[in-house]
Amino acid sequence: MKVKLECDLDMDNNAILNYTGGCLIATGTYTGDGAVSKKITTGFTVKWVKIWTRQVTHNDPIVSLESTDTIVDDNESGAAIRQANDTGDMDLYVGCIVSLDSDGFTVGDAGSDFHPNQNGTAYNYLALGVAG
């Protein structure tokens, strides 16, 4: 699903402002394949993405990762902020959200079949971005 809103993404200050081109939102799901990288297509330039594991049964732990183009670009292998609801831990993970691209985003398995591309794991995502 894509929705166009009249807003601006100021990712340097983590704010949403007025934007002449509009803000695009994509939501969806994918299943991890355990590969080093997996491309998710949104059809627009992603500036922020949040990915989380789908809860299959009650009390399953949920792991979420989120990143901006600034966080990803700060590490050559890509990076994201990871949070787990069962432990409350929040930390920087390298090699998980590999890149935010002109037509979507790319996730990895952090080199060890891990989130957000763990083989057989279902994920939801919410991506914000701009056209082109």
Residue-wise pLDDT tens digits, 12-37: 554 444 445 678 899 999 999 988 88
Taking residues 57-76, report their average pLDDT.
77
**Domain hosting residue 61, numbered range:** 2-130
Count how many domains the chain has: 1
**Cβ neighbours of 109 (radius 10 Å):** 22
pLDDT at 86 exceeding the cut of 60: yes
pLDDT at 56 exceeding the cut of 70: yes
- Report the chain's mean pLDDT, rounded to a whole number: 79
What gap in Å lies between CA 4 and CA 26, rounded to an integer? 10
Cβ(48)–Cβ(67) below 8 Å: yes
What gap in Å lies between CA 72 and CA 75, rounded to an integer? 6
Identity (one letter) of the amino acid at 75?
Answer: N
pLDDT at 103 exceeding the cut of 50: yes
pLDDT at 97 exceeding the cut of 60: yes
pLDDT of residue 113: 67
Taking residues 102-120, report their average pLDDT.
85
